[in-house]
Amino acid sequence: MAESRWGRVLLKLSGEAFADSSIGSGIDAVVVKRLAEEVADAVDALSVQIAIVVGGGNIFRGLKGASRGMDRATADNMGMLATVINALALQDALEDVGQPTRVQTAIQMSQVAEPYIRRRATRHLEKGRVVIFAAGTGNPYFTTDTTAALRAAEIEADVILKGTHSGVDGVYSADPKLDKDATRFDEIPFMDVVAKGLRVMDLTAITFCKDNNLPILVFDVMTPGNLRRALAGEAIGTLVQ
């Protein structure tokens, strides 16, 4: 059986990846099902343990609510609840294709998901279950990028797979949609990401990953087959380390 380049990974998906493209929000069941199929295929074929953090921007984004006059903490709490909706949708799609899954939330809601417990999460992964971390860190003012970095370190993941959804297939010297001369990096150090102000993850997450020697692979997760290619070690996306 083929093996993954990494034994345990954390996949970061934005909420926008789940959005219905016709309206730019909501949940597109077809997209969620395809992503679930790719995750399940990778677990089965590559002997890899996969944890997932999903955002909530397709439903509600805390920063946007705050920009319209809402209390920031309240808006962020609403955003964290939006991630739970996406996590449950992804769990349903994964289990529909036969992949055992657990959702763990940083805000307790025992009727719908387990509370986040690090040792329980790692045990689920060891048993071949996909674990979806929802509700962010449980605290306002922190993004799901920071959640991904924190959870990856806690479960001792080997890498964060940062899946992009807008057709950008890695880290570029400039926005490739605005600058035709922008070049893609195959690899780039953390400090260059910070110094150049490149948009990979938020600064808190990047700094945390640097301090904890946690590499980030940025790749286009919306292209069918890319998740398996990335895990198999093919030259895909940009490795930040």
Query: DSSP label at 209?
Result: H
Q: What's at 121, amino acid-wise?
A: A
Q: Which residues contact 227 (CB under 8 A, 6 or more apart)?
A: 11, 38, 39, 42, 161, 163, 221
> What stretches in the chain show pLDDT beneath 70?
1-2
What region does 225 belong to: left with phi over 0, alpha with psi -120 to 50, or beta?
A: left
Supply the pLDDT for residue 179.
86
Question: Where do runs of H (alpha helix) occur along 97-225?
Answer: 118-126, 144-154, 190-196, 203-211
Identify the residue whose tokens are 């700094």.
207
Supply the pLDDT for residue 2.
67
The token duo for 77 is 């709490």
**Among 239, 223, 231, residue whose Cα is nearest residue 186:** 239
Supply the pLDDT for residue 185.
93
- Would you call 8 helix, strand, or coil by DSSP? strand
Q: For all residues of the chain together, what is the average pLDDT?
A: 93
* Model confidence pLDDT, tens digit, residues 24-44: 789 999 999 999 999 999 999
Query: DSSP label at 5?
Result: S
